[in-house]
């Protein structure tokens, strides 16, 4: 049996995505040796050990978003939230624990949302949804806050959608991932951005594009957790200005 499947079936994690992340983060040992491939075959008699961390949120994303909510003193009490790129639900879990009243958790993938969130009546989950196809009219009520964590696409490609969905005074926190902004030719063989100046320039471009769309940048904070390959990520906080 593959290690990632074993970890889910034995109850260490609720999804294979969570198990995959734990393995890549070197938290899993087999017979006292760290294993970093989720396809590793587990045999009868193998001793599996998992270094568990605080399980406040269903995934690492929750800790990232919490950093921005705390740094910028964002009050989510009873707000309606859209989570673009919900995946296992780290951001969704975080905003609910910070008082959000309802969350639209949308992702282009399927079967990723953590079990503990699937039956939460405060969550409207939709799968197979590309954030670039979302518009204000897709929602029956006003969206107060948007959080976004997307991969393999520049976050700037969704800024127009965010600006369209939010009303004046609406807020957004976007996870800026340099590794998906600079292009594959600017990553080393480990997937890490080679040129920090280029990453900074891409962030500036994102900020300028947002300004044109009347998304005012209120602040940027470093993510307390790096990306899977060690890239430093950032959380950008925007407020929608008047039309």
11-28 pLDDT, tens digit per residue, is 777 778 878 888 887 788
State the residue for tokens 């951005």.
193
Average pLDDT over residues 121-146: 97
Q: Which residues pair with 202 in a beta bridge?
A: none
CATH classification of 61-240, choosing from 3.50.50.60, 3.90.70.10, 3.40.50.150, 3.40.50.720? 3.40.50.150
CATH 3.10.290.10 placement within the chain: 3-50
User: How far does Cα 60 stand from its chain's mean position?
Assistant: 8
Question: What pLDDT does 194 receive?
Answer: 72
Query: Among all chains, which residue has been given the structure tokens 């997937």?
Result: 191
Q: Looking at the predicted structure, is the pLDDT value of residue 118 above 80?
A: yes
pLDDT in tens, 23-51: 887 788 898 888 988 899 999 888 888 87
Q: Is the pLDDT of residue 52 over 80?
A: no
- Helix (H) / strand (E) element for 210: namely helix 196-212
Specify whether the CB–CB gap between 182 and 202 falls below 8 A. Answer: yes
User: Which residues are bridge partners to 91 per DSSP?
Assistant: none
Q: How many CA atoms, within 13 angstroms, populate the side-chain half-sphere of residue 78?
A: 0
Q: Report the distance separating Cα 104 and Cα 83, nearest Å.
A: 6
184-195 residue pLDDT tens = 676 777 777 777
Contact 11, 50 (CB under 8 A): no
HSE at residue 161, side-chain half, CA atoms within 13 A, is 19
The Cα–Cα gap between 147 and 64 comes to 11
Distance CA(184)–CA(193), nearest Å, equals 9
**How high is the mean pLDDT of the chain?**
90
Average pLDDT value for residue range 1-9: 89
DSSP 8-state code for residue 45: T
CATH code of the domain made up of 3-50 = 3.10.290.10
For residue 219, give the H/E element and its range: strand 215-222
Predicted model pTM: 0.77
């Amino acid at each position: 049996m593959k290690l990632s499947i074993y970890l889910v079936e034995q109850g260490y994690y609720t999804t294979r995505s969570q198990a995959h992340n734990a393995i890549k983060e070197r938290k899993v040992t087999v017979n006292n040796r760290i294993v970093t491939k989720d396809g590793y075959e587990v045999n009868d008699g193998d001793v599996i050990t998992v270094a568990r961390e605080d399980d406040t949120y269903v995934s690492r994303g929750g800790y990232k978003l919490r950093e921005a909510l705390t740094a910028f003193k964002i009050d989510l009490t009873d707000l309606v939230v859209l989570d673009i790129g919900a995946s296992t639900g780290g951001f969704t879990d975080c905003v609910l624990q910070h008082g959000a009243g309802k969350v639209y958790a949308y992702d282009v993938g399927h079967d990723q949302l953590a079990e503990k969130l699937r039956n939460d009546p405060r969550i409207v989950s939709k799968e197979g949804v590309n954030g670039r196809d979302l518009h204000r009219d897709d929602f029956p009520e006003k969206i107060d806050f948007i959080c976004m964590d997307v991969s393999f696409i520049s976050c700037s490609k969704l800024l127009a959608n965010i600006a369209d969905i939010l009303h004046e005074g609406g807020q957004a926190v976007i996870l800026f991932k340099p590794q998906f902004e600079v292009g594959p030719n600017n990553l080393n063989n480990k997937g890490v951005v080679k040129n920090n100046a280029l990453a900074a320039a891409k962030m500036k471009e994102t900020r300028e594009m947002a300004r044109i769309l009347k998304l005012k940048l209120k602040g940027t904070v470093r993510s307390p957790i790096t990306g899977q390959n060690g890239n430093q990520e950032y959380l950008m906080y925007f407020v929608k200005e008047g039309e």
